[in-house]
Amino acid sequence: MKTKYEEYVKVMRKAADISGAISLLSWDKEVNMPKNGAAFRSQQVATLAGMRHEMLLDARHGINLKMLYSDRNLLDSKERKNIEISHKHHERRSKLSTDFVMRQSKAVSNAYHSWIEAKKNKDYSLYKDALTEVVNIRKEECELVGYEDHPYEALLDQYEPGAKVAQLDTLFNDVKAQLVDFCKQIAAQKQVNADVLAQAYDKDKQWDFGLEILKRMGYDFNSGRQDLSPHPFTTHFAPTDVRVTTRIDENHFGSMTWSCIHEGGHALYELGLPQEEYGLPSGSSVSLGIHESQSRLWENNVGRSLPFWKHNFSLLKEFFPKELKGISVEDFYKAINQVYPSPIRVESDELYYHFHIMIRYEIEKGLIEGSLSTDGLNEVWNQKYKDYLGIDIQNDAEGILQDIHWAYGSIGYFPTYSLGSFYAAQFFNQAKKDIPNLIQEIEKGENQSLLTWLREQVHQHGSTYSADELCNRITGESLNFKYFMDYAKEKYKGIYQF
């Protein structure tokens, strides 16, 4: 049994090595690669992806994995969990033929190019047929891999293993029942002034400030680096090499700062995974929802809090004395937490953001179960924005064409954004109980206790526990929307004085 497990580990680590090489090439594509390198870079990534796929579907590895799975009760708990997760992934891959994979790749490629053209022309009709092809092939995938209660779960499971439609329906019903009305209450109050954010902030100074904030969070620049990219992201090549990117808008300070903090939260998670479990599920993140909880906790529960800025505002004023002249830390705190409905998801505040996700979830689920079709889907989108956010969508580019996810075939991904915020609120509430002086420490710029707590409670476990099991271990209960609403009410009733 030991020899069989060691052989399994060897294959998994080779596959992780290839994944690291793919990630490095992809990172370079976004950060450094010259324009003319795109064609060969795509070929190189495809070649490596094919090698990894063949390695993980190799007959010898498959037989060994099945034998280990059959005798998994002879393994210790961590080894058993690794085998169970790897066996599940292998079974899913085995159900998708080469023909299906090629057809799916072609559908996604067509959709990507159609989406670019449609967005440029602000015309959904130029994208509809290609989107229909993607939806149909994803529906086919649901039937091929199977599901328990709802076909959408077959796609959701790729991003949030074990999550159920019933769970998401409950959470988003809570959003409709509680958060919608709360945002209406905020809208009835006098709006806070956020003009301080919409002035010229020097690009180089913003960059230097962002680096300092990452250091203060605990990000180790000996194990990573920051670069610029059009769309901020975090990537990892190994548990000792995790890199982040950010973007800078010289006319809006918030664009860079919270990208840094958000991506820094993702990076701290990856850097906290156990190095000795490299390549194995026990050395990998649990789910996208849990991953997002780490970025959202740092970005919102910490990075948009008054205690955080009571410590860091003096540093910010050193970088921007002219721009922040006469601005108090309280004024700044209110500005960075302004709440108002925006048609664009990535520009949304932390409350209205979940309406954006809810709309996408409802549409995705409808497309997969067949209650919605791609015909007139832009009109469905626009009506939901009118119903939930009270705003009129001006054109398809700011409406249904604003996200690229569906063109990539990433149906089932969006709910993890909201799950992350809800987990973050529940985890941070527990952290305050476990670290009695946590808020005072944050106000002093002492973040090590929180990072240590996250390392012990979340990071070190990898995927040894499911998201639900992890949440129960940390907080004593499953994910509960109550904690997010408690956090939102305490914070925004103070800001908007009602």
Quick: pLDDT tens for 176-204. Answer: 999 999 999 999 999 999 999 989 999 99
Based on the domain organization, do 87 and 167 belong to the same domain?
A: no
Q: Does residue 343 form part of some domain? A: yes
pLDDT of residue 46: 83
Q: Which of 62, 51, 50, 59 is nearest to 89 (CA)?
A: 62
Torsion of CA 32, 38, 44, 45, to 10 degrees: 80
pLDDT at 101 over 90: no
pLDDT at 98 over 90: no
pLDDT of residue 41: 87
Query: CA triplet 370, 371, 374: central angle to 5 degrees?
Result: 75
pLDDT of residue 218: 97
Q: How many structural domains is the chain composed of?
A: 2
Q: Exposed (0-12), middle (13-18) or buried (19+): which is 17, by Cβ within 10 Å? A: middle
Based on the domain organization, do 266 and 392 belong to the same domain?
A: yes
Q: What is the mean pLDDT of the chain?
A: 96
Q: Which of 94, 118, 151 is the last residue of a domain?
A: 94
Based on the domain organization, do 284 and 186 belong to the same domain?
A: yes
Q: Which of 69, 94, 119 is the last residue of a domain?
A: 94
pLDDT of residue 302: 98
Q: What is the CATH number of the domain that holds 384?
A: 1.10.1370.30
Based on the domain organization, do 75 and 193 belong to the same domain?
A: no
Based on the domain organization, do 85 and 178 belong to the same domain?
A: no
Domain region containing 49: 1-94
pLDDT at 387 over 90: yes
pLDDT at 85 over 90: yes
Exposure b/e, 82-111, CB count within 10 A at least 16 = b? bbebbbeebebeeebeeeeeeebeebbebb
pLDDT of residue 403: 94
In this structure, of 35-44, 171-180, 377-386, the range with the lowest mean pLDDT score is: 35-44
Residue type, 461: H
pLDDT digits (tens, 9 = 90+) for 126-164: 999 999 999 999 999 999 999 999 999 999 999 999 999
Reported as type and span, the H/E element at residue 241 is: strand 241-246
Rounded Cα gap, residues 26 and 278, in angstroms: 20
Based on the domain organization, do 331 and 244 belong to the same domain?
A: yes
Mean pLDDT of 317-332: 97
Catalytic residues: 263
Q: Does residue 120 form part of some domain? A: no
pLDDT digits (tens, 9 = 90+) for 423-465: 999 999 999 999 999 999 999 999 999 999 999 999 999 999 9
The sign of the torsion formed by the CA atoms of 481, 484, 486, 489 equals negative
Rounded Cα gap, residues 55 and 231, in angstroms: 31
Residue type, 16: A
Q: Does residue 109 form part of some domain? A: no
Based on the domain organization, do 178 and 316 belong to the same domain?
A: yes
